[in-house]
Chain A
Amino acid sequence: MSDSAGPLPLRVASVADDADRAVLARVADGELSALDDLYERYKTMAYSIAFRITNDATLAEDVVQDAFLGAWRNAARYVEGRGSVKTWLLSIVHHRAIDAVRRRRPTSELPEREDVPPPELRLPDVWAEVSSRLDADTVRGAMAVLSDVQREAIELAYFGGLTQLEVAERTATPLGTVKSRMRLGLLAMRRALLEAEGPAAPGAASGASPGAGGEAR
């Protein structure tokens, strides 16, 4: 994973996706050993994201456990072609981690919705598959194109678990400005990624990512 200048290895990612889907199908059948496999594949990413968001080892463990149990119970509802298993699983981790930190903040209003499936497990899954294997250096390079205020807004939201309103309050910025910082920041990152990975890469508007195994819509 040190080939930061190389093209996006979508074919490799596709093979991994196929294997992931096979594992997830077994998880849906209630096979514990399949859950074991899934965990071994993504434990480090899952825990790293949970830890980055919660900044608390115990809470991060709970989040990862919740997320894998969520995947265990809802594997049958994963919709092929709407993003990779990896993206699906990590989005569950992300949502659970955000829930956990929002719950921890006394000021935050968070409706009790324990009785319904988590949002990421309901329609529609809009997460297009970009790449399972983007090099971390490439990603950091793309983040480097963000202005300080854009990065702050995106990180407070995605890793801090703040709502757009809370980001506005925290940074003493009008809500509309926060929204545009997030939007323009993501678009700038997208351009940087496309340039770094070559013309055929991430979710090109045509939806043609060769071998990526299906696009959302």
Chain B
Amino acid sequence: MTDLTRSTRPDLSCDDVRELAASFVLGALDVDEADAVRAHLASCAEPHPEMAELGSVVAVLNEAVPLVEPPPALKGRILAAAAADRAARGGAAGRDVEAAEPPAVSAPLPSPADAVPFPSPAEREQRAAARAGMGTWIVRIAAVLAIALLGGWNLLLQGQLEAARTYEQNVAAVLDVAGQPGSLTAILTGEGADAPAGLAAIASDGSVRIAMSELPATSGNQVYEAWVIGGDGVPVALGGFQVGETGVAYFEGSGLPTEAGIVLALTLEPGPGATAPSSAPVSAGIAVGAG
């Protein structure tokens, strides 16, 4: 925009540059002057040792600065901005996620749920490829939205990069089911801004996948029990799982009714095997049909 000034500026001599060296290394030249110095240095055959001599002292000035710790949230902001920047540039975003380890729930599942192996990235890829009538990019966009809305963003803001990735993969697995014909989806929410939230999808065969974030960690024998509440209003246990410090969890279950309007809920139970909820749900949502 202002390149005119540069092209009309006379070239500096070596003596000019020597005279400006201290101001240059201190950052005390205006933009045009500094550019002129750089242009000279880039093309000058003479060595300009004064630049290194004075510049090395300036680098040392940094060491005299009183130390102040940045706020912890800044890291999350920077990483989130970098992730967004990478996505905008169409870089390696997808590759990284696909190449990463398959997600694991943070603790062994004390329920039949752990009998269901989590699909490998390759398997998920196959399913995604085989899915007719729905472009992968739609799933991608949906995944991004779901992550942003449902906790991945918060994880990034907290600097929990690995947890955010795990959650993203979990959500992608849920969206695989959500993209199939005849499936139902539910957004699980709780009360309050930091309440546990997540996404669930019920396939036409009655199997369910749930991806959650921001669940408080379980301790001891505690489990989160997943429930389905059908038309009769009676909660039916689907299985339980434990959660680590990241608050991220993935759950698979089966045998659900495939009717829109059923409710999925999670409660915190003192141990596995509950047959009725002992407390109010920490997160719940209503299943609705796609489309």
Contact = CB atoms under 8 A, between A and B. Distances in A.
Interface in A54-70: 57, 60-61, 64-65, 68-69
Contact of A217 (B20, B52, B74, B82): B52
Given A49-B62, A127-B56, A128-B55, A72 B68 contact: no
A111 B85 CA distance: 25
Contact of B83 (A32, A61, A179, A203): A32
B64 A203 contact: no
Contact of B42 (A31, A94, A124, A179): A124
Interface string A17-35: 0000000000001111101
A216 B2 CA distance: 30
Question: Secondary structure at chain A's binding surface: helix, strand, loop or mixed?
Answer: helix
A139 B58 CA distance: 11
Contacts of A5: none
Contacts of A46: 70
A4 B52 CA distance: 24
B74 A115 contact: no
B78 A39 contact: yes
A48 B60 contact: no
A119 interface: yes
Interface string A155-188: 0011101111101000000000001001101110
A126 B2 contact: no
Contacts of B53: 128, 187, 190, 203, 205
A78 interface: no
B69 interface: yes
Contacts of B288: none
A90 B78 contact: no
Given A158-B61, A205-B49, A126 B42 contact: no
A47 B68 contact: yes
A32 B5 CA distance: 39
Interface residues of B, number: 60
Interface in B133-158: none
B122 interface: no
Given A69-B82, A128-B53, A179-B23, A44 B70 contact: yes
Contacts of A157: 23, 26-28
A64 B78 contact: yes
B2 A164 contact: no
B67 to A, nearest CB: 5
Contact of A111 (B2, B65, B86): B2
Interface stretch (B33-41, B111-119, B187-195): B33-41
A45 B233 CA distance: 59
A73 to B, nearest CB: 7
Interface in B3-48: 5, 19-23, 25-32, 34-35, 38, 41-42, 47-48
A112 B54 CA distance: 28
Contacts of B83: 32
Given A65-B81, A215-B52, A193 B31 contact: no
B159 A139 contact: no
Interface in A121-136: 122-124, 126-131, 134-136
Contacts of A159: 61
24 contacts: A30-B91, A32-B79, A32-B86, A35-B82, A45-B62, A47-B70, A61-B74, A68-B82, A113-B2, A119-B34, A123-B42, A126-B41, A128-B53, A128-B55, A136-B63, A154-B61, A162-B28, A164-B28, A179-B19, A186-B22, A186-B25, A187-B54, A203-B53, A217-B49
Listed from nearest, the 9 A-B pairs whose CB atoms lie closest are A128-B52, A157-B28, A47-B70, A183-B22, A126-B51, A182-B22, A203-B56, A130-B56, A111-B2
Interface of A: 29-33, 35-36, 39-40, 43-49, 51-52, 57, 60-61, 64-65, 68-69, 72-73, 83, 87, 90-91, 94-95, 98, 109-113, 115, 119, 122-124, 126-131, 134-136, 139-140, 142-143, 154, 157-159, 161-165, 167, 179, 182-183, 185-187, 189-190, 193, 202-203, 205, 207, 215-217
Given A110-B30, A190-B54, 8 more contacts: A39-B79, A43-B75, A48-B66, A115-B1, A126-B41, A165-B30, A190-B53, A215-B52
Interface of B: 1-2, 5, 19-23, 25-32, 34-35, 38, 41-42, 47-49, 51-71, 74-75, 77-79, 81-83, 85-86, 91-92, 96, 159, 161
